[in-house]
Amino acid sequence: MNSFQVPAPPSGPVPWDKPLALAVLSDLLRVRRMEEKAAELYGQQKIRGFLHLYIGEEAVAVGAVRALTADDNVVATYREHGHALLRGVGMGPIMAEMYGKQEGCSHGRGGSMHLFDRAARFYGGQAIVGGGLPLAVGLALADKMAGRPALTACFFGEGAIAEGAFHEAMNLAALWQLPVLFCCENNFYAMGTALARSESQTDLCVKAASYGMATVSVDGMDVVAVVDAVQGAAQQVRAGKGPVFVELRTYRFRAHSMFDPELYRDKREVEAWKTRGPIHTYSARLKAQGSLTEDEFLALDAAAQAEVEAAVAFAEAGTWEPVEELLRHVYTAEGAL
C-alpha cells in the first residue's frame, strides 16, 4: 500500500429518503465521537489496558449492522465498540465497561476488548485473532438445528485469515450450509504487517471462494455500498443458500492500538486515506443533493456529543466491584469458587 494506490473518494447520489439518510449519518457520528472520547480518556488514564479504536472504519459497522434483525447474532473482534453500540448496547454501559466499573455491559470484568450483551445477541468482543470465527459457526449451527430463522454475522480482520480457525470455520460453515455472514474488515494491516507481506494470495474473495461459498467485495469506506452489499449477502444467507463471505475494504486512521508506535506505514498514506473518510464524504453527498444542511449536520453532531458526555457521566458515577465479589463467576474443575 502507498499513497498513490488510494481509490477516489465515494461519490454519487444517496438513494435513501431523508430520515434514513440522516439516521445513518447520526450513527456514523455516534461511533466517531465515542471513539474520540475513549482516546481522550485513555490519555487521562481513566481507561486502562488495551484500547483499539474504530476511527475511519465506521461505515463498515454502520452499514452492516443495518442488514441484521433483532434475532440475529453478532460476533466481533477487539475493535468492537462501534458494533456493540449499533447493535443496541447502551453507550453508558459500554463506557462503564471500558472504565472497569461493575455497571459495564460485562460488569467491568471484560474491558474494552470483551464487550458482551446477551439481550442484544452481541457475543463479544474477542481478544484472540480469529477467536470469534468458531463461535460464530457454533451459534449458526445451534440456530439451524433449532429451526430458528436467524443468521450470525461474524466480523474479523484480514489478519484472521492467516489463522487456522478461519479455514476450519469456513470449511464447516460451507460443508453444513450454515447461516453465517462472514464480514472481513480488511484494513490492509494486521497489526503492523501489510497484507502482501503475510498472504501470498491477497485477493481474499478467492480464498473464501475456495470453500465453495458466495463472495462479494465492497468499498468499506462507502456506507451506501456497504448497506447494499451486506443486505444482499444477508438475503442469500436467509434464503438457505449457505454462508456468504463479504470483504469490506476499509482503513483505520489511528494506530492499531494505543500502544502502537505505528512505524510500518507512511504518514502520507494515512493522510491520503483520510480524504476517503466515511463521515465527510457521506455528508458531502447528502449536502450536494439537498438532503442535509450544515445546521442539520451540527445538530446531529451535538446530539452525538451529548450522548457521549452522558455516557462518561454514567461511567464516572459507576462503582468498583467489591473485593468480596471478585471470585464470583470464577470456575474450577470442581465447580464455582
User: Which residue, among 177, 179, 72, has the nearest Cα to 121 in the 3D structure?
Assistant: 72
pLDDT in tens, 227-283: 999 999 999 999 999 999 999 999 999 999 998 888 899 999 999 999 999 999 999
Grouping H, G, I as helix, E, B as strand and the rest as coil, residue 124 is coil
pLDDT in tens, 290-312: 999 999 999 999 999 999 999 99
The confidence score (pLDDT) of residue 48 equals: 94
User: Looking at residues 178-207, what average pLDDT do you find?
Assistant: 94
The confidence score (pLDDT) of residue 336 equals: 63
What CATH superfamily is the domain 7-312? Thiamin diphosphate (ThDP)-binding fold, Pyr/PP domains (3.40.50.970)
Cell of 242: 449457505
Q: How far apart are CA 327 and CA 336, in angstroms?
A: 8
Residue 3 has pLDDT above 70, yes or no: no
Q: pLDDT band at residue 329, thresholds of 50, 70 and 90?
A: confident
The confidence score (pLDDT) of residue 4 equals: 52
User: Looking at residues 79-98, what average pLDDT do you find?
Assistant: 98
User: Looking at residues 199-226, what average pLDDT do you find?
Assistant: 97
CA dihedral 92, 94, 99, 102 (to 10 degrees): 80
Residue 219 has pLDDT above 50, yes or no: yes
CB 11 within 8 A of CB 285: yes
SS (H, E, C) 146-162: HCCCCCEEEEEEHHHHH
Q: How far apart are CA 304 and CA 327, in angstroms?
A: 37
pLDDT in tens, 41-59: 999 999 999 999 999 999 9
The confidence score (pLDDT) of residue 2 equals: 44
Q: What separation, in Å, do the N-terminal and C-terminal C-alpha atoms of the chain show?
A: 51
Q: pLDDT band at residue 225, thresholds of 50, 70 and 90?
A: very high
Q: Are strands 152-157 and 180-186 parallel, antiparallel or unpaired?
A: parallel
Q: Are strands 331-332 and 335-336 parallel, antiparallel or unpaired?
A: antiparallel
CB 106 within 8 A of CB 116: yes
Q: How far apart are CA 200 and CA 13, in angstroms?
A: 37
CA dihedral 122, 126, 130, 131 (to 10 degrees): -90
User: Looking at residues 2-16, what average pLDDT do you find?
Assistant: 84
The confidence score (pLDDT) of residue 334 equals: 74
Q: What percent of the chain has pLDDT over 70?
A: 98
**What is the model's pTM?**
0.95
CB 60 within 8 A of CB 250: yes
pLDDT in tens, 151-175: 999 999 999 999 999 999 999 999 9
The confidence score (pLDDT) of residue 54 equals: 97
Residue 1 has pLDDT above 70, yes or no: no
Q: pLDDT band at residue 5, thresholds of 50, 70 and 90?
A: confident
The confidence score (pLDDT) of residue 153 equals: 98
Q: How far apart are CA 238 and CA 233, in angstroms?
A: 9
Q: Where are the domains of the chain?
A: 7-312
The confidence score (pLDDT) of residue 337 equals: 61
